[in-house]
Amino acid sequence: MRTLSTRRWVATVAAAAAATLILAGCAGGADNGGDSGASNKDNVTYALPAGTGPNWLLPMSPPDKMATHNKALKSTMWVPLFEYDGTGGAMDWDKKASAAKSYEFSADGTSVKITLNDLDWSDGKPVTSRDVEFWYNLARYNNTKIGGYSKGNMPDNVTKFEINDDKNFTLTFDKVYNQDFLLANQLTLIYPMPQHVWDKSADGEAVGDLDRDEAGAQKVLDYLFKQAEDMSTYATNPLWKTVSGPYTVAKWTDAGQVELTANEKYTGVDKAKIKNVTFMPFTSADAEMNVVRSGDLDYGYITSAQLSSKAQFENLGYKIDPWKGWSITYMPYNFANPTMGPVYKQLYVRQALQHAIDQKSISDVIWKGAATPGYGPIPQDPATDYLSDEQKNNPYPFDLKASEKLFTDHGWKKNAQGVLTCENAGSGADQCGDGIAAGQAMNIVVTTQNGSQETDNMMAEIKSSLQKVGVNMTIDAIPLDSVLTEAQSCKTGGDCKWELVFFGTAGSWYFSAYPNGERVFAKDTKWNAGQYDNPEAEQLITDLTFSTDKDIAKKYSALLAKDLPVMWMPNPVYQVSVIKKGLDIGGQQDPGASFYPQRWSWK
């Protein structure tokens, strides 16, 4: 027994010593410089986000294949009609990456005439209006099978597709729409597809005009979807050899590793500069960072916590480049919560809570600069004309005194434990408000996603600030999937007990180029999780789609920045990129999360 016992503590000491040595070894590795990795100028390796693997290449996707990286990859092979991105520093039409050369709206705004670029398919045939019509026909006859379809929107809102000639066509809409909405959120869904190769319903069948009637179009899409389900044939299937973009598939594994090679027949102006691009999947960020540390990735990412070890990656020959997302981050209030709903419905409560969020310090210190403060429903970086002054200037700056005063001015007083309690119930100007009973304490629960040190620290900081005001915040950290399920519980017949939820460690909501909030803040939409209901906001959200008022987005931005449908939070970057110093990515990283590998080059 003595031997066993002695072994026990000897083993403990040995384990501790081993752990210390490992740590020391790891730390020592920080100084390893060098410039290993791919230096072949015809190749580049890129790390895909952890846990994601590209699994679809056809320009039209079923709903479960709508991942951003799928879209980013297929755009390199089939050029979309309109591409909007932020590579130029602002979210704008990227003409080089688009099949459309120009557009012209009719005087009454109900139709748009589009002219195509001089693009050819890789088999030498030109990209024509018929190829756009092919997409439209497949979409309109198969709308429910297509991911991203929203009833009433594209293609339902197109009443007539008219081919003027090979390079010109006109789309007529069912009503007048906001032109930014049409261009950035609707026409960007369209891809010219090679009708002369794909318009068939079986292998070996002659290509015809099957797409022009409903039954034929359905057969064609079923056939294309079936072919696209087999990832192992992406590099060999003749269907996928006819491309219009700068790249074509060289290899695509079931595990999600994709190798693209330059399309030698590409005739556009966005020609590939590096011949071979490899997209690597990773199961976790840690696994990816290990490969970065080995120098075997040319373009990867690190977690923002690693920004404190920036020098390590710079010594390895990388430059650090945070990739900002076209997104907003927020915590919805549950206005339907049986107990706390009436409290959150009071604007002064939301204002007071917002005053207690020190977004600048959280962004700078906790996210180490890899997040930017956000004060409203429009993404703030890069700045756009949609952004109102009210949102830009932060209507509720960090001010704990102002926060506490809002409570005390409305009948709340700190109890012996320092927690604010409603003492003056009622609906008067100096009272707590409708539905709040005397004795109601400001005990709030935030359900947040776990697994992120930055998020944990951010919640600890918010809890600390709120405690100074007199609000007792409980943090309930659970896995992201559970948070998202919880957030929907009121709408799915669940217990609806959540109060605030946070699912924004990588940004809460990513927008199309035109950032309308119809899917987030409109009354009956799924992701208005907290059931925010403001008729004025509802009208503005509708107007964002239909109004021709150039300032409509600004009005929407101003109202929601002030009305606080959610608690606005710092918006983390899409990822903190590490890029080999010799690799020029040809502009800014796209906030819309597209890659544009054709613009990368080795210096």
Note the residues at the interface with other proteins (CB under 8 A): 1-2, 5-6, 8-9, 12-13, 16, 19-20, 23, 26-27, 29-30, 303, 305-306, 308-309, 312, 358, 361-362, 365-366, 450-451, 453, 456-457, 459-461, 463-464, 467-468, 474-479
Shortest reach from residue 341's CB to other proteins, in Å: 22
State the DSSP code for 102.
E
Shortest reach from residue 457's CB to other proteins, in Å: 5
Question: Which residue, among 342, 304, 173, has the nearest Cα to 575 in the 3D structure?
Answer: 304
Helices and strands counted in the chain (H then E): 17, 26
Residue 8 or 160: which CB sits closer to other proteins? 8
* CB neighbour list of residue 304: distance below 8 Å, 6 or more residues apart: 322, 367, 368, 370, 371, 454, 572, 573, 576
Residue 443 or 601: which CB sits closer to other proteins? 443
Q: Residue 461, class by beta-carbon neighbours within 10 Å (0-12 exposed, 13-18 middle, 19+ buried)? A: middle
Shortest reach from residue 176's CB to other proteins, in Å: 49
Shortest reach from residue 558's CB to other proteins, in Å: 29
Shortest reach from residue 293's CB to other proteins, in Å: 9
Shortest reach from residue 300's CB to other proteins, in Å: 15
| C-alpha to C-alpha distance for 599 and 25, rounded to whole angstroms | 39
Shortest reach from residue 418's CB to other proteins, in Å: 11
Q: ∠ CA 223-224-230 to the nearest 5 degrees?
A: 100
| C-alpha to C-alpha distance for 596 and 66, rounded to whole angstroms | 18
Cβ 440 vs Cβ 422: under 8 Å: yes
Cβ 410 vs Cβ 346: under 8 Å: yes
Shortest reach from residue 480's CB to other proteins, in Å: 12
The two three-digit tokens of residue 265, written as one number: 């027949």
Question: Which residue, among 491, 524, 575, 587, has the nearest Cα to 46 in the 3D structure?
Answer: 575
Residue 235 or 462: which CB sits closer to other proteins? 462
Question: Which residue, among 363, 392, 362, has the nearest Cα to 375 in the 3D structure?
Answer: 392
Which residue in this structure is represented by tokens 């002030």? 562
Residue 285 or 553: which CB sits closer to other proteins? 285
Residue 16 or 215: which CB sits closer to other proteins? 16
Residue 11 or 437: which CB sits closer to other proteins? 11
Helical (H) or strand (E) element with 372: strand 371-372
| C-alpha to C-alpha distance for 16 and 39, rounded to whole angstroms | 40
Residue 284 or 548: which CB sits closer to other proteins? 284
Residue 1 or 107: which CB sits closer to other proteins? 1
Shortest reach from residue 452's CB to other proteins, in Å: 9
SS3 content of the chain, % helix, strand, coil (to 5): 35, 20, 45
Cβ 73 vs Cβ 61: under 8 Å: no
Residue 145 or 414: which CB sits closer to other proteins? 414
